[in-house]
Amino acid sequence: MTHKIAILGASGYTGAELVRLIATHPSMEIVALSGDRKAGMAMAEVFPHLRHLDLPNLVKIEEIDFSGVDLAFCALPHATSQSVISQLPTTLKIVDLSADFRLRDPAAYEKWYGKPHSALEMQKEAVYGLTEFYREEIKQARLVAGTGCNAATGQYALSPLVEAGVIDLDEILIDLKAAVSGAGRSLKENLLHAELSEGYHAYAAGGTHRHLGEFDQEFSKLAGRPVQVQFTPHLIPANRGILATVYVRGDAAVVHQTLANKYEGETFIEVLPMGQLPSTKHIRGSNFVHIGVITDRIEGRVIVVAALDNLTKGSSGQALQNANLMLGEPEETGLMLAPVFP
Amino acid sequence: MTHKIAILGASGYTGAELVRLIATHPSMEIVALSGDRKAGMAMAEVFPHLRHLDLPNLVKIEEIDFSGVDLAFCALPHATSQSVISQLPTTLKIVDLSADFRLRDPAAYEKWYGKPHSALEMQKEAVYGLTEFYREEIKQARLVAGTGCNAATGQYALSPLVEAGVIDLDEILIDLKAAVSGAGRSLKENLLHAELSEGYHAYAAGGTHRHLGEFDQEFSKLAGRPVQVQFTPHLIPANRGILATVYVRGDAAVVHQTLANKYEGETFIEVLPMGQLPSTKHIRGSNFVHIGVITDRIEGRVIVVAALDNLTKGSSGQALQNANLMLGEPEETGLMLAPVFP
Amino acid sequence: MTHKIAILGASGYTGAELVRLIATHPSMEIVALSGDRKAGMAMAEVFPHLRHLDLPNLVKIEEIDFSGVDLAFCALPHATSQSVISQLPTTLKIVDLSADFRLRDPAAYEKWYGKPHSALEMQKEAVYGLTEFYREEIKQARLVAGTGCNAATGQYALSPLVEAGVIDLDEILIDLKAAVSGAGRSLKENLLHAELSEGYHAYAAGGTHRHLGEFDQEFSKLAGRPVQVQFTPHLIPANRGILATVYVRGDAAVVHQTLANKYEGETFIEVLPMGQLPSTKHIRGSNFVHIGVITDRIEGRVIVVAALDNLTKGSSGQALQNANLMLGEPEETGLMLAPVFP
Amino acid sequence: MTHKIAILGASGYTGAELVRLIATHPSMEIVALSGDRKAGMAMAEVFPHLRHLDLPNLVKIEEIDFSGVDLAFCALPHATSQSVISQLPTTLKIVDLSADFRLRDPAAYEKWYGKPHSALEMQKEAVYGLTEFYREEIKQARLVAGTGCNAATGQYALSPLVEAGVIDLDEILIDLKAAVSGAGRSLKENLLHAELSEGYHAYAAGGTHRHLGEFDQEFSKLAGRPVQVQFTPHLIPANRGILATVYVRGDAAVVHQTLANKYEGETFIEVLPMGQLPSTKHIRGSNFVHIGVITDRIEGRVIVVAALDNLTKGSSGQALQNANLMLGEPEETGLMLAPVFP
């Protein structure tokens, strides 16, 4: 059986990544692609790398007949996403890649995104899309909220540890390095090649990055009490990949074993042998996460490093993994592509 | 039916690329991997990006039992390749990725590679692996010689034009830009990041690059008379991708139409609309070739630009395409991966 | 004696490069900086790398009192430049970095830039700023027109050969590779890191690039008859540097000797030993030009390769060199910075 | 008066950087360059970007007549450095760029470098070359030990804070991002463009990096009691630049003020306005250090970020600054080059 798929907001990087992944998916067919400012164009004009595929042209969302659609990926900007999704048929399954349905608490949404949520009912209904932690809920969900790409990376390193109570919850620090595609295809001076290449710097430092809302929500839930982490992202001169260097306190062997146990049997999560650390180079273009653990020279301090591809496991790959679950397909279908190296 | 595959020389980039592609191939199973200096190691140690795969460890070639092998990819250095291949069982199908069996004329081999060929019988038997031009011979072949990656790029742009006689055969100039992975994983100063990044230069200029042997052989054969092209490769600060800017004389519309006709129905070759030119960015990590044609302001001058990924269509993807043909599989199996962008 | 300098359009890359170079110039003082959209800001806000310098804030052009200014560099967009310059005091020395005064023929200007020139009198007066070829005129000039950066690179390789008549004037082909800073700090999708890095492609192919106007003008003047070259620029994933691979017909030894003779005694032009070719990596951040000559395997064909930094010798360094001449300073003052490698 | 300079180990990146800087130094003349494996070659062959300079050829160290030399920069590998330096005339001023004389405690040297020091007397005599902290000692010194480039970056962010006692000495964490030229021109697989570009990872994690020896020595001395920091370096796909993100506990305003006070009047150290953070892009190719301070959302936590160019302020620029002091020249001579951007 072939599932009919729509992608809303297909002219951005996460939209293109969805098309790339679905291109070899045996039981999905893309029947509609939207792109407001580029409506009327062929995908090959917007993304020449997809030229070999037989795809529908980009249209405006209101032109799509959703009656023939089984599932829609929504890759729109936040705020836009909630207003679009609230107008879609209530029978349509939706995987949202924006930030709009990640936070369950309306006050938290308003705090981090600067205005009240306009679709509170749907916000309540949405399931947080970190697959390995919400698998059963996702299978039953109508609306799944894709996680932040930085938020996913930090959680893969930390969630099992917070849940198991094997680290000091008041001493968690995430120093994260993110490639530029996470910022999307937007025309900003700091995303120009001449501005970014051969340079790197921190951004949204000091506890101001919006993905902190997700960390607070998820870690506090797992711990059963408020948890606040320190989080400093950096922009790195590369196109894909996030590396989270996470500093915790506990016993390194216990930390490593806790992660290994939690992810045993998980197709996409690889816990490296104790003392080995990952590189973003080794997960590029794939849905895999590599996690390493090393002990520090200072007793009781442990470093956990996690790497994933922000466009794949950090957004579009995760979205497809969740869509597979929602549609009753094997979770890994279309996602077993090996990383592209070098 | 599953074909049993061996990869000789699996510790280099083309070996790793073969593993990446075969990883999702439904009817191939890798049963042996060789890597002389790294014999005894797991592939995950040599190429951590392949960590998720269940692969045999690297061994020495002499440790492989070829009786259970249907086809061997040989990704060894030239010269080594001919001596290894001449020792392999004569029933084994072989796709060689080295330069050893590309040139049919022993004198040409000696001229370009500096010493006599040591397996002249096999040299005669080998079929040149430019799939779209040797498809029927490849289906019947026991030994297929992978083309040079630069040579493939130039030929995709030029061979149909030479064959059809629509361009001036004495006025062909190929200015080619190649990414660094084409030079392999070798420890050379000029391949260091600090030496290469932010710089670019010509190399093997003046008609000294060995792939000229392939151009001479193939273009002369197609034209039925000696053809010599001018060819200047450049090393560009990128990891994957070759762009060949080819300057010819003729009628642009005829040139474009000749290419479009020749490649009509070819899965992997995309001839862009007249006046559009390709980018290496749009074929990265894939087996696709993009070809564009534009007319120059000087009458009678035409520019043809071809782009492909040196590790995929330029070597390992081509090798797999040929292996599919040799094993009776659909040609495109395992090769429909969309390019990775950005 | 200290010369008072104004830089109009100081918020772009060429403006910043002028400031960088003048920062260690012993006899120039920057007294005014303009930047329309950024008027009121400190340079350190617009270009944090200049933070250590004591510079005037950016103002609007009309706020500048030119009575105390000896020379103005004008780094504005073309068209804007001519209208601004025509309003400046007629006693002010001006080095214009835009395209507005490069072409002497009003018809040629209109052809390449799409509209009539609005300051024809000044256009006539302007001296073309290729220092090594117009040194005496520049010394006397009030208005010097900076050359196109691509145009400069091609001319350094070709002008002595055209002038000496040692190459076939009807068979000149320039395949040029340019870094991205040549496109300025403009917000265009194709200049984003994610779009450009790891990719390369031709642009303005087919004889449509505006710098052809300069080639036509200068080569025809030197030859004493119309000369039209073929010219295809490519965008390369690097920030600085132009490499022009120039294909000509003649005798390689004569070509090499002609270049060596012409540039003997020139501080900034290095002709490499016969058979050696330059890399952009070796002139980055400097005012030097490296030129190499190699013979092709096809008799009578010669390859000349020239490399320079588009922001230095290709624009702001050239501008400063010319300003030195106009102000009676030694030509190389402030310009002897060695290239930055790696 | 012109000082006669020798550079031992001139065929590496720090050697080349010294030549670049000294090229425009008004009172230094390079009279000897050594490079063991490249003895007999011209510098232009080893470093074509220095082609325009009139430099002595590379020779073996034993060929140099030191009687005419005022000061030698020693850019040799550690261990080699101590054995070479112990043979040099005792009247010669020396700036050593290796690790050999950074640690004052022989036991510490043996711990971090794996074997006993062979020139203990000289080790005692050497002055640690962090100019802003050892200026007076350096002026009097005969032998100055260049600091580690990572060590310098961390100390610029931390030393004033440790000295002033305004942060918790047991809670200091340095997450550092380093460009690849810090690893030198050595032929290692992980330094290849294809391995490094588009990837990043931690290295020498867990408190094993040798620069920890310098942190321990200097911070403990400033604090008057043992101080151990946590330190994790990362390799970033860029050629130049170190960014140290330093996590401390204290009052952000006090931290900022302490740094501002300490560096007031320092030519090369720029403390940014509170809340602004630096980028490596803004110090490339220069001797400047940019330092920023921001408060975290968690009370009492402060982030200090320091950026410098590892080849300039991190090694060769620092070395020249110290040499100026040792020779009685103004400290900043030859070092006021503005950063190269973009």
Q: Is C185 on the interface with A (CB under 8 A)?
A: yes
User: How many Å apart are CA C216 and CA C104, to the nearest integer?
Assistant: 11
Q: Is D192 on the interface with C (CB under 8 A)?
A: no
What is the distance in angstroms between the Cα of B298 and the nearest Cα belonging to chain C?
A: 7
Partner-chain residue, chosen from C49, C336, C338, that has the shortest CB–CB distance to D282? C49
* Residues of chain A positioned with their CB less than 8 A from the CB of C181: 194
- The verdict on residue B336 lying in a domain is no
- The verdict on residue D322 lying in a domain is yes
Q: Which amino acid is at C9?
A: G
Residue B117 corresponds to which tokens in the numbers above?
A: 């060929």
* C167 in the same domain as C300: yes
Q: Where are the alpha helices (DSSP H) in C197-250?
A: 211-223
**DSSP code for C49:** G
Query: pLDDT at residue C342 above 90?
Result: yes
A269-271 vs C301-308, strand pairing mode: unpaired
Cα-flanking dihedrals φ and ψ of residue D284, to 5°?
Answer: -60, 130
* Residues of chain A positioned with their CB less than 8 A from the CB of D205: 277, 294, 296, 303, 305
Q: pLDDT, tens digit, for every residue of C250-294? A: 999 999 999 999 999 999 999 999 999 999 999 999 999 999 999
Longest C-alpha distance within chain B, in Å?
61
- Between chains, do D185 and B189 touch, taking CB under 8 Å as contact? yes
* Residues of chain B positioned with their CB less than 8 A from the CB of C248: none
- Between chains, do D193 and B192 touch, taking CB under 8 Å as contact? yes
User: How many Å apart are CA A122 and CA A139, to the nearest integer?
Assistant: 17
* A278 in the same domain as A173: yes
User: How many Å apart are CA D130 and CA D138, to the nearest integer?
Assistant: 9
* B56 in the same domain as B175: no
Buried b (16+ CB within 10 A) or exposed e, D106-134: eebbeebbeeebebeebbeebbbbbbbbb
**DSSP code for B289:** E
The reported pLDDT for the residue numbered C182 is 93
Q: Which residues, listed in sequence order, are joined to residue B306 by a DSSP beta bridge?
A: B244, B291
User: How many Å apart are CA D281 and CA D340, to the nearest integer?
Assistant: 8
Q: pLDDT, tens digit, for every residue of C227-247? A: 999 999 999 999 999 999 999
User: How many Å apart are CA B122 and CA A90, to the nearest integer?
Assistant: 66
The reported pLDDT for the residue numbered C36 is 87
Partner-chain residue, chosen from C272, C336, C340, that has the shortest CB–CB distance to D340? C340
User: How many Å apart are CA A261 and CA A252, to the nearest integer?
Assistant: 14
Partner-chain residue, chosen from B230, B278, B294, that has the shortest CB–CB distance to C301? B230
Strand order, beta sheet including A3-8: A58-59, A28-34, A3-8, A71-74, A93-96, A143-145, A127-128
What is the distance in angstroms between the Cα of D313 and the nearest Cα belonging to chain B?
A: 18
Query: pLDDT at residue D1 above 90?
Result: no
Q: pLDDT, tens digit, for every residue of D212-259? A: 999 999 999 999 999 999 999 999 999 999 999 999 999 999 999 999
* D256 in the same domain as D319: no
* Residues of chain D positioned with their CB less than 8 A from the CB of C51: 270, 272, 282, 288, 290
Q: Which amino acid is at B94?
A: I
Count CB neighbours of C226 within 10 A. Answer: 9
Query: pLDDT at residue D36 above 90?
Result: no
* B75 in the same domain as B178: no
The reported pLDDT for the residue numbered A1 is 79
Q: Is A120 on the interface with D (CB under 8 A)?
A: no
* D210 in the same domain as D99: no
Mean pLDDT of C28-49: 96
A28-34 vs A3-8, strand pairing mode: parallel
Q: Which of D257, D169, D260 is nearest to D220 (CA)?
A: D169
- The verdict on residue A101 lying in a domain is yes
What is the distance in angstroms between the Cα of B279 and the nearest Cα belonging to chain C?
A: 5
- Between chains, do A338 and B278 touch, taking CB under 8 Å as contact? no
- Between chains, do C239 and A189 touch, taking CB under 8 Å as contact? no
Count CB neighbours of B116 within 10 A. Answer: 10
Mean pLDDT of D37-58: 97
- The verdict on residue B340 lying in a domain is no
Active-site option among B8, B74, B127, B149: B149
- Between chains, do A305 and D202 touch, taking CB under 8 Å as contact? yes
What is the distance in angstroms between the Cα of A220 and the nearest Cα belonging to chain B?
A: 32
* D103 in the same domain as D205: no
The reported pLDDT for the residue numbered B92 is 97
Q: Is C37 on the interface with A (CB under 8 A)?
A: no
- Between chains, do A338 and B52 touch, taking CB under 8 Å as contact? yes
Q: Which of D194, D241, D234, D183 is nearest to D12 (CA)?
A: D183
- The helix, strand and coil proportions of chain D, stated in percent and rounded to the nearest 5, come to 35, 20, 40
- Between chains, do A194 and C180 touch, taking CB under 8 Å as contact? yes
* B87 in the same domain as B15: yes
Buried b (16+ CB within 10 A) or exposed e, C97-122: bbbbbbbbeeebbeebbeeebebeeb
Distances (CA, A) of D276 to A76, D58, D270: 31, 45, 12
Question: Which residue of chain A comes nearest to C197, CA vs CA?
Answer: A193
User: How many Å apart are CA C16 and CA C11, to the nearest integer?
Assistant: 7
Partner-chain residue, chosen from B237, B245, B277, that has the shortest CB–CB distance to C237? B237
User: Mean pLDDT, consecutive 10-residue segments, chain A of 342 residues?
Assistant: 96 97 97 95 97 98 96 95 95 97 95 93 93 98 98 98 98 98 92 96 96 98 98 98 98 98 98 98 98 98 98 98 98 98 96
Indicate the SS3 state at residue C6. Answer: strand
* Residues of chain A positioned with their CB less than 8 A from the CB of C13: 194
**DSSP code for D279:** B
Q: Is B2 on the interface with C (CB under 8 A)?
A: no
Q: Is D187 on the interface with B (CB under 8 A)?
A: yes
The CATH number of the domain where D77 resides is what? 3.40.50.720
* B160 in the same domain as B143: no
User: How many Å apart are CA C249 and CA A109, to the nearest integer?
Assistant: 69
What is the distance in angstroms between the Cα of C234 and the nearest Cα belonging to chain B?
A: 10
Mean pLDDT of B299-320: 98
Say how many domains are in chain C: 2
The reported pLDDT for the residue numbered D178 is 98
Q: In this complex, which chains have at least 3 CB pairs below 8 Å with chain D?
A: A, B, C
User: How many interchain CB pairs under 8 A, B with C?
Assistant: 156
* Residues of chain D positioned with their CB less than 8 A from the CB of A297: 206-208, 212, 228, 230
- The verdict on residue B134 lying in a domain is yes
* D141 in the same domain as D161: no
Burial of B266 (0-12, 13-18, 19+ CB in 10 A): middle
Distances (CA, A) of B198 to B180, B238, D282: 13, 10, 17
* Residues of chain C positioned with their CB less than 8 A from the CB of D239: 342
The reported pLDDT for the residue numbered C59 is 98
Partner-chain residue, chosen from A19, A51, A338, that has the shortest CB–CB distance to B53? A338
The reported pLDDT for the residue numbered B36 is 87
User: How many Å apart are CA A230 and CA A216, to the nearest integer?
Assistant: 10
Distances (CA, A) of D209 to A278, A302, C273, D113, D192: 18, 16, 44, 10, 21
> Which residues have CB under 8 Å from B179's CB, separation 6+?
B236, B238, B239, B240, B241, B242, B280, B310
The CATH number of the domain where A269 resides is what? 3.30.360.10
Q: Is A191 on the interface with C (CB under 8 A)?
A: yes
Residue C4 corresponds to which tokens in the numbers above?
A: 């008072």
Mutate which: B41, B50, B52, vs A, most A CBs within 10 A = B52
Indicate the SS3 state at residue A1. Answer: coil
- Residue B226: band (very low, low, confident or very high) from pLDDT cuts 50, 70, 90: very high
A28-34 vs A58-59, strand pairing mode: parallel
- The verdict on residue C91 lying in a domain is yes
Q: Which residues, listed in sequence order, are joined to residue D308 by a DSSP beta bridge?
A: D242
CA B305, B306, B307, B313: dihedral to nearest 10 degrees? -170
* D216 in the same domain as D188: yes
The reported pLDDT for the residue numbered A36 is 87
User: How many Å apart are CA B137 and CA A2, to the nearest integer?
Assistant: 38
User: How many Å apart are CA C114 and CA C176, to the nearest integer?
Assistant: 24
* Residues of chain A positioned with their CB less than 8 A from the CB of C197: 193, 197, 237-239
Q: pLDDT, tens digit, for every residue of C119-164? A: 988 888 999 999 999 999 999 999 999 999 999 999 999 999 999 9
Partner-chain residue, chosen from A180, A189, A237, that has the shortest CB–CB distance to C187? A189
Q: In this complex, which chains have at least 3 CB pairs below 8 Å with chain B?
A: A, C, D
- The verdict on residue C58 lying in a domain is yes
Strand order, beta sheet including C301-308: C201-202, C230-235, C173-178, C242-249, C301-308, C289-295, C269-271
Compute the C-alpha angle D87/D93/D97, nearest 5°: 80
Query: pLDDT at residue B1 above 90?
Result: no
- The verdict on residue C187 lying in a domain is yes
User: How many Å apart are CA A86 and CA D229, to the nearest integer?
Assistant: 51
The reported pLDDT for the residue numbered D251 is 98
| Structural domain boundaries, residue B9 | 3-147+313-326
Burial of C39 (0-12, 13-18, 19+ CB in 10 A): middle
Q: Which of A267, A263, A262 is nearest to A325 (CA)?
A: A267
The reported pLDDT for the residue numbered C1 is 79
DSSP annotation string for B149-217: HHHHHHHHHHHHHHHHT-B-TT--EEEEEE-GGGG-S---GGGBHHHHTT--EE-STTTT-THHHHHHH
Q: Is A198 on the interface with C (CB under 8 A)?
A: yes
> Active-site residue numbers of C?
149
> Which residues have CB under 8 Å from B186's CB, separation 6+?
none
* B101 in the same domain as B191: no
The reported pLDDT for the residue numbered C148 is 97
- Between chains, do C192 and A198 touch, taking CB under 8 Å as contact? no
Mutate which: C170, C176, C201, vs B, most B CBs within 10 A = C201
